[in-house]
Amino acid sequence: MSQYPDFVATIDTSGLTCPLPLLRTKKALQTIESGQVLKILTTDKSALSDFQAFAKQTGNTILLQEPTEVEGTVVHFIQKR
């Protein structure tokens, strides 16, 4: 397991499918400052590629994406541009 980056907020979108994890992430990013990091938990199978596309489109940076100890859950760390 990787060393997690420092983050200022966490959102849990477990059980939600696209586009809800992305919409909740977009809303949460509006509440933090530039350079701060948001932690997102997802269970949607397409979340890895969805978040990569989201970051590319929005200019935010994905610092880390990896599975957690919980089966089917992936953690994403996105730094606000």
Q: Rounded to 5 degrees, what angle do the CA atoms 62, 66, 70 make?
A: 135
Start-to-end CA span in the chain (Å): 26
Pick the catalytic residue from 18, 41, 62, 64: 18
Please choose, from the candidates 53, 50, 55, 48, the residue with its C-alpha nearest in 3D space to the C-alpha of residue 72. Answer: 48
Q: Specify whether 18 is catalytic.
A: yes
Angle between helices 20-29 and 47-58 (to 10 degrees): 40
Which active-site residues does the annotation give? 18
